[in-house]
Amino acid sequence: MLSTSLLNEFKTLLGKDNVMDSESDRHAYSYDAAVLDSVVPELVLRPTTSEQLGRTVALCNENKLPMTVRGAGTNLSGGTIPTKEHGVVILTNGMNKILEINEEDLYAVVQPGAVTAKFAAEVAKRGLFYPPDPGSQAVSTLGGNVAENAGGLRGLKYGVTKDYVMGVNFWNAEGEYIKSGGKTVKCVTGLNIAQLMVGSEGTLGVFDEIILKLVPPPVASKAMLAEFDDINKASETVAAIIANKIVPCTLELLDNATINYVEDFTKAGLPRDAAAILLIEVDGGHIALVDDDAEKVVEICKKHGAKRVQMAKDAAEKNKLWEARRNALPALARARPTTVLEDATVPRSQIPAMIKAINDIGVKYKLQIGTFGHAGDGNLHPTILTDKRDKEEFHRVELAVDEIFDVALSLGGTLSGEHGIGTAKSKWLEKETTKATIIYSRRLKKAVDPNYLLNPGKIIGG
């Protein structure tokens, strides 16, 4: 139990409403979006200013309380589930301001709790563009996006969160202020600590301000939907589009199982017998260029054996083409009680091999798996449909997930394209890297967080 004097100190610092210690409040912060056991924190704190945040971190450190920073709690690898002993959750949604959008120098400064989609909309209002668009963007926070190096549908052409982080200012474990990066395109002052923070999952510091790069938006776009009776043909098409020097802004794939789940759900007339659907969107700075690219893409699709290609003529038609992709997760999620959403990623040429392996694993462990994802960057979402209450079936799910990772690694891929390692995947980390990599990472952490209080146990265990 926490001492009353410490509780009172937090209440004086943050205000009573921002110190949550009731049983019902604490249970509401015991989970995130990963299918993992929940852990109830001992205390939930919500600072509303930079100074409060720094003081909160210092107080937790002095009292040896492990801190887990939480934005919207949409993490898919358990990164925002608190630590078992005396865990404290630090909420960032009291610090959700967009501090600056600079149209001349093309950057923005935000607090960590600012919501991704709201920020992107605000940027769009000024005629600029913030491309990273993780699936949870309607609620996810930019602090969380940076801490997880979140991806999204636009990764192939526009990159992921790390490509937009220019600077991160944060509190270290002792509650001292660290500045890194800046507002200039070029900046080589000191170690590149800002990029070290990207994907650090809250283990190296507590973000206070983030400087993000903005770009001019594309002015035109065209969307197409292509159906294939062979997954290899779809994959060859993806390779051929890129070989032709066209980089689509989205290149999404739905496999046969996913097509059928979506069709069960929407009855929109999708081809149930198709092996795969590709949703392709090209964009650019001039409508004529975009039209050219779109026509070339249609040609390439046909040449590589697409059974049918549809091109959207206007916004309404484009919206309709997107419907199948938009409904992929909702359709899969409705099919069974528990949805295990993975994100094993392979080089894009290995997509057919990966999908075949996933389907074989599904048959082997008698599991329902639908796969969709970002074909352009090889980031697939094999989605296992199950019921976690069925212990025996869920054990088969765990075995299947192990095997999916083994295959992804054997194909030259990675454990996680965009969901993070958290606690869910830390046990496989050594397989992809080396023992020395983990020891190196732990030493790094020990050096900046000697008491091991910043989200301990995440990524590198220990």
Partner 1 sequence: MTEDLHQLAKMLHELDDQMVACMKCGMCQAVCPVFAETMKEGDVARGKIALLENLSHEMIADAEGVQNKLNMCLLCGSCAANCPSGVKVLDIFLKARVIVNTYMGLPAVKKVIFKGLLTKPALFNTVLDLASKFQGVFTKTASEVIGSSCSRIVNAPIIGERHFMPLAKKPLRKLEPSLNTRPGKGGYRVAFFPGCVIDKIYPQVGQAVLKALRHHEIGIYMPTGQCCCGIPALASGDKESFDKLVLRNLEIFEKENFDYLLTACATCTATMHELWPLMSGDKTQSMQDRIAAMAAKVMDVNQFMVDVVKVSMPVQGSGTKVTYHDPCHLKKSMKVFEQPRALLKTNPNVEFVEMADADRCCGCGGSFNLQHYDLSKEIGTQKRGNIVASGAQVVATGCPACMMQMSDMLSQHKDNVAVKHVMEIYAETL
Order of strands across the sheet with 379-386?
A: 308-311, 220-228, 276-284, 250-255, 368-374, 379-386, 338-341
Tell me: does residue 339 bind partner 1 (CB under 8 A): yes
Q: Which stretch binds partner 1 (CB under 8 A): 50-58, 202-210, 386-394, 425-433?
A: 386-394
Tell me: does residue 351 bind partner 1 (CB under 8 A): no
Tell me: does residue 30 bind partner 1 (CB under 8 A): yes
Looking at residue 74, its amino acid is T
In whole angstroms, how close is the CB of 123 to partner 1 at the nearest point?
18
Size of interface with partner 1, in residues (CB under 8 A): 36
Contact 386, 367 (CB under 8 A): yes
Burial label, 462 (beta-carbon count in 10 A; 0-12, 13-18, 19+): middle
Tokens of 140: 């996810």
Tell me: does residue 29 bind partner 1 (CB under 8 A): yes
Q: Which stretch binds partner 1 (CB under 8 A): 136-144, 192-200, 250-258, 272-280?
A: 136-144
> Contacting partner 1 (CB under 8 A), which of 389, 391, 435, 443?
389
Tell me: does residue 198 bind partner 1 (CB under 8 A): no
> Contacting partner 1 (CB under 8 A), which of 330, 395, 431, 437?
330
Tell me: does residue 10 bind partner 1 (CB under 8 A): no
Tell me: does residue 420 bind partner 1 (CB under 8 A): no
Q: Is the dihedral of CA 181, 185, 189, 190 positive or negative?
A: positive
- CA dist 369 and 116 (Å) reads 30
Tell me: does residue 130 bind partner 1 (CB under 8 A): no
> Contacting partner 1 (CB under 8 A), which of 4, 23, 186, 267?
23
DSSP letters along 168-225, please?
A: EEEE-TTS-EEEEE-SSS----SS-HHHHHTT-TTSS-EEEEEEEE-BPPPSEEEEEE
- CA dist 91 and 69 (Å) reads 6
- CA dist 178 and 86 (Å) reads 26
Nearer of residues 237 and 383 to partner 1, judged by Cβ = 383
Tell me: does residue 136 bind partner 1 (CB under 8 A): yes
Region for residue 382 given its phi and psi (left: phi exceeds 0; alpha: psi -120 to 50; beta: otherwise): beta
Nearer of residues 117 and 240 to partner 1, judged by Cβ = 117
Q: Which stretch binds partner 1 (CB under 8 A): 72-80, 145-153, 159-167, 357-365?
A: 72-80
Tell me: does residue 260 bind partner 1 (CB under 8 A): no
Beta strands in 33-87 (DSSP E): 43-45, 67-70
In whole angstroms, how close is the CB of 21 to partner 1 at the nearest point?
11
In whole angstroms, how close is the CB of 184 to partner 1 at the nearest point?
34
Question: Measuring CA to CA, how many Å separate 27 from each of 21, 32, 39, 76?
Answer: 10, 11, 8, 18
Tokens 């079936």, residue located: 393
The H or E element that residue 374 is part of is: strand 368-374
Residue 213: beta bridge partners? 107
> Contacting partner 1 (CB under 8 A), which of 6, 139, 289, 444?
139
Q: Which stretch binds partner 1 (CB under 8 A): 29-37, 55-63, 162-170, 358-366?
A: 29-37
In whole angstroms, how close is the CB of 22 to partner 1 at the nearest point?
6
Residues that bind partner 1 in the complex, under the rule CB under 8 A = 20, 22-25, 27-33, 35, 38, 40, 46, 72-74, 91, 93-94, 117, 136, 138-139, 329-330, 333-334, 337-339, 387-389
